[in-house]
Structure 1
Amino acid sequence: MTGGNKKLHVIGASETKKNRPKVLKSSDHSTHSHNQGVSTLNISRKQHNGSLYTGVGVIAISVVSWFVYQGYLETRVNSPLTEDKVAFPSSHDFPERYWGSFRPGVYFGMKSRDTHSLLAGLMWFMPDVAAAGNLNLRHLCDQGDNLEQYGWKEHDGRNFGVQVIIDKFIQLETSFVTKLGGNHGGDWTARIQVEPRMKELKGQQVTLYFYLTLDDNGKGLLQPIRMIDNMDTSGMDASESVKFLGLSAVHGHTEKLGDFRVSFHHANQQSIVHTAFLSTTVGSPHLVKDALQSGLRLMEDKRSKERHISLAGALFAKEDNLKQPNFVVHQVTGKLPLQLEIVYESNSFAERGILLRGEVYDALLQKYREQFRIQFENKFRLNEKGFSEEEQDFAKSAMSNLVGGIGYFYGSSKVQSVHNKEPVPYWNAPLYTAVPSRSFFPRGFLWDEGFHNLIISQWDREISFDIMAHWFDLMNVEGWIPREQILGSEARARVPDEFVVQRNNQGNPPTFFLVLDAMFKNRPVRDISTLELEQLNRMWPRLVSWYNWFNTSLHGSEPGTYYWRGRDTASARELNPKSLSSGLDDYPRASHPTTYERHLDLRCWITLAAKVMASIADIIGREGRKYHETFVFLSNNELLNAQHWSEKAKRYADYGLHSSNVTLRRPKSIAGQPKPDKIRWVSEEPTPRFVDDTFGYVSLFPLIVEILQPDSPQLGQLLQDLRNPNLLWTKYGLRSLSKTSPLYNKRNTEHDPPYWRGPIWINVNYLVARALHHYSVVEGPHQTRALLLYNELRENLITNVLREYRKTGYIWEQYNDANGAGQGCRPFTGWSTLILPLMSETYV
Structure 2
Amino acid sequence: MTSTKHLRHRNVQRDGPRLERKIDKSRTKNSDSSSKLVAIASVLVTILLLAGYFRYQMYLREKIKTPLYAPTMLAKDSTSAKSDPERYWGSYRPNTYFGMRTRTQRSPVFGLMWLNQFTQQMPPPIRHWCDQGDRLRRYGWLKHDGVNFGVQEIVDSDFMLTTSFIKRAGGDHGGDWSANITATSTNKERAGLVSLMFYVALDGSGHVEPVISKNGQRINSINGYSPELGHYRLSFPKSTSNSTHKHNYLITHATGLDKLKEAMMNGIRVEAWDKSRRVPYFVLGGRQVPIDVEDGSNFVVFQVTTELPYTLEVMYESGSIYERPNRLQGEVFSSLLAQHVSEFDKKFDEKFDLKSKAFSQSQVDFAKAALSNMVGSVGYFYGASLVQSVYNEEPVNYWKAALYTGVPSRSFFPRGFLWDEGFHNLLISKWDPEISKDILSHWLDLMNTEGWIPREQILGDEARARVPDEFVVQRNTNANPPTLILPLQRLIKSMLDSDKEKDKKFLKAVLPRLQTWFQWYNTTQIGPKRFTYQWRGRDGHTNKELNPKTLTSGLDDYPRASHPTNDEYHVDLRCWMALSAGLIADISKSLGVDGAEYAATHAVLTDNGLLDDLHWSEKKQQYSDYGLHTDKVRLERPKPPANLQPGQRPPNMNMDKVRVVHADPELGFVNAFGYVSLFPFLLKIVEPSSPKLTRILTDMRSEKHIWTDFGLRSLGQTTPLYNRYNSEHDPPYWRGALWINMNYLALGALDFYRKTPGPYRAQADEIYTELRNNVVNNIYSQYMRTGYIWENYNDKTGEGKGCHPFTGWSALGLVTGVATGTRSSPAHELLIIGYFDNLCLFRQI
Question: Is the TM-score greater than 0.5?
Answer: yes
Q: CA deviation at 1:309?
A: 2.0
Q: Equivalent residue for 2:703?
A: 725
Where do 1:161-310 residues align within 5 Å?
161-202=150-191, 204-215=192-203, 218-229=204-215, 245-300=217-272, 308-310=281-283
Q: What's the counterpart of residue 366 of structure 2?
A: 394
5+ long unaligned stretches in structure 1: 1-25, 230-241
Q: CA deviation at 1:620?
A: 3.5
**Pair 1:133–1:556, CA change in 2 (3 A):** closer
CA pair 308-710 structure 1, distance change in 2 beyond 3 A: closer
TM-superposed CA distance for 1:34, in Å, is 8.0
Structure 2 counterpart of 1:112: 102
Q: 2:388 aligns with which of 416, 419, 423?
A: 416
CA distance 1:259–1:792, change in 2 (3 Å): same
Inter-partner Cα distance in structure 1 for 2:500 and 2:786: 43
Superposition map of 1:45-124 within 5 A: 48-88=35-75, 89-91=77-79, 92=81, 93-124=83-114
1:76–1:478 contact (8 Å) kept in structure 2: yes
Distance in 1 between residues matched to 2:257 and 2:500, nearest whole Å? 40
Q: How far, CA to CA, are the matches of 1:528 and 1:127 in structure 2?
A: 62
1:489 equivalent among 447, 458, 461: 461
**Superposition deviation, residue 838 in structure 1:** 0.4
User: What does residue 148 of structure 1 align with?
Assistant: 137
Q: Sort the Cα spacing of 1:192 and 1:64 in 2 relative to 1 into closer, same or farther, 3 A.
A: same
Partner amino acid, structure 1, of 2:471: F
Distance apart, 1:303 and its partner CA: 7.5
Residue 538, structure 1, aligned to residue 509, structure 2: yes
- Match of 1:832, as an amino acid? S
Letter of the aligned partner of 1:348 in structure 2?
A: S
Q: Which moved more, 1:167-176 or 1:64-73?
A: 64-73
Paired AA for residue 349 in structure 2? E
Structure 2 residue 728 is matched with structure 1 residue 750? yes
Distance 1:248 1:620 in 2: 58
- Match for 1:428: what amino acid? K
Between the aligned partners of 1:759 and 1:618, the Cα distance in structure 2 is 41
- Pairing partner for 1:689 from 646, 657, 668: 668
- Provide the alpha-carbon RMSD of the alignment: 2.2
Shift of 1:132: 4.5
SS in 1 for 2:301: strand
Q: Which amino acid aligns with 1:164?
A: E
Between 301-310 and 350-359, the greater mean CA deviation after superposition: 301-310
Aligned-partner Cα distance in 2 for 1:547–1:132? 54
SS class of match (1:271): coil
Contact 1:208–1:331 (Cα < 8 Å) also in 2: yes
**Alignment partners' CA distance in 2, 1:531 and 1:484:** 30
Q: Distance in 2 between matches of 1:636 and 1:817?
A: 34
Q: Return the match for 1:794 from 772, 797, 801.
A: 772
The answer to whether the 8 A contact 1:222-1:324 is kept is no
What is the CA-CA distance between 1:52 and the residue it aligns to? 4.0
SS of 1:312's equivalent?
strand
Give the AA of the match of 2:173. H
State the shift of 1:106 in Å: 0.6
Go from structure 1 to structure 2 and tell me whether the alpha carbon gap of 1:702 and 1:28 turns closer, same or farther (over 3 Å shift): farther
Deviation at 1:82, TM superposition (A): 2.1
Partner of 2:785: 807
Match in the other structure for 2:285: 312
TM-score, length of structure 2 as denominator length: 0.91
Can you list the C-alpha shifts for 1:39-94, whole angstroms capped at 9, x where unaligned? 77666655555544444433332222211111100000001112222123232322
Alpha-carbon distance in structure 1 between the residues aligned to 2:106 and 2:15: 93
> Which shows bigger deviation, 118-127 or 81-90?
81-90
Cα pair 1:380 1:837 within 8 Å, conserved: no
Fraction of identical pairs, as percent: 47
Change (3 A) 1:524 1:411: closer
8 A Cα contact 2:289 2:296, kept in partner: no
The amino acid that maps onto 1:700 is L
- The one-letter amino acid paired with 1:222 is V
1:589 maps to which of 543, 560, 565: 560
Distance 2:600 2:573 in 1: 18
After superposing the two structures, state which structure 1 stretch, 759-768 or 536-545, moved more.
536-545
**SS of aligned partner of 1:616:** helix
- What's the offset of the Cα at 1:708? 1.2
Aligned match for 1:701, one of 679, 686, 703: 679
Alignment of 1:370-769 (within 5 A): 370-521=342-493, 523=494, 525=496, 530-670=501-641, 671-692=650-671, 694-769=672-747
The answer to whether the aligner puts 1:158 opposite 2:147 as a matched pair is yes
Tell me by how many angstroms 1:296 deviates. Answer: 0.9
Give how far 1:449 is off.
0.3
Change (3 A) 1:285 1:524: closer
Q: Which region of structure 1 is more displaced relative to structure 2, 405-414 or 614-623? A: 614-623
The alignment partner of 1:201 has SS state of: coil
Residue type of the partner of 1:294?
Answer: N
Distance 2:244 2:610 in 1: 74
Paired residue for 2:826?
Answer: none
Instruction: Give 1:587 deviation, angstroms.
Output: 1.1
Aligned partners of 2:241 and 2:310 also within 8 Å: no
CA drift at 1:428: 0.8
Offset of 1:272 from its aligned partner?
A: 4.0
Q: Which residue number corresponds to residue 19 of structure 1?
A: none
| Equivalent position SS for 2:220 | strand
| 1:347 to partner: Cα distance | 1.2
Residue 6 of structure 2 is matched in structure 1 by none
Distance in 1 (alpha carbons) for counterparts of 2:623 and 2:66: 39
Q: Name the CA distance, whole Å, in 1 between partners of 2:592 and 2:436.
A: 22
Structure 1 partner of 2:305: 333
Once the two structures are TM-superposed, the CA of residue 678 in structure 1 deviates from its matched residue by 1.9
**SS class of match (2:773):** helix
User: Does 785-794 or 437-446 show the bigger shift?
Assistant: 785-794
Q: Determine the C-alpha separation between the residues in 2 that align with 1:505 and 1:248.
A: 54
1:382 to partner: Cα distance: 1.4
Amino acid at match of 2:282: I
**Which letter does structure 2 place at the counterpart of 1:136?**
P
- Corresponding residue for 1:15? none
Q: Structure 1: which amino acid aligns with 2:47?
A: A
**Residue 250 of structure 2 aligns to a residue in which SS?**
strand
Contact 2:105 2:382 in 1 (8 A): yes
Equivalent residues, number:
799
Provide the C-alpha distance between the structure 2 equivalents of 1:619 and 1:99, rounded to a whole number of angstroms.
36
The answer to whether the 8 A contact 2:498-2:504 is kept is no
Cα distance change on mapping 1:708 and 1:54 into 2, 3 Å: same
For 1:405 and 1:526, locate their aligned partners in 2 and report how far apart those are by CA, in whole Å.
33
Structure 1 residue 176: deviation in Å? 0.2
Structure 2 residues not aligned, in runs of 5+: 1-12, 642-649, 818-829, 836-845
| Corresponding letter in the other structure for 2:722 | Y
Structure 2 residue matching 1:348: 3-state secondary structure:
coil
Q: How far apart, in 2, do the equivalents of 1:311 and 1:304 lie? A: 22
- C-alpha change, 1:717 and 1:57, in structure 2 (3 Å) is same
Give the deviation of 1:518 after TM superposition.
2.4
- Does the CA-based 8 Å contact 1:187-1:345 persist in structure 2? yes
Q: Deviations over 1:513-560 (max 9, x none)?
A: 111112344x47556754333222222222221122112221122221
**1:20 paired residue number:** none
* Structure-2 change in CA distance of 1:656 and 1:44 (3 Å): farther
How has the CA–CA distance of structure 1 residues 706 and 132 changed in structure 2, closer, same or farther, with 3 Å as cutoff?
closer
In structure 2, give the amino acid aligned to 1:275.
Answer: H
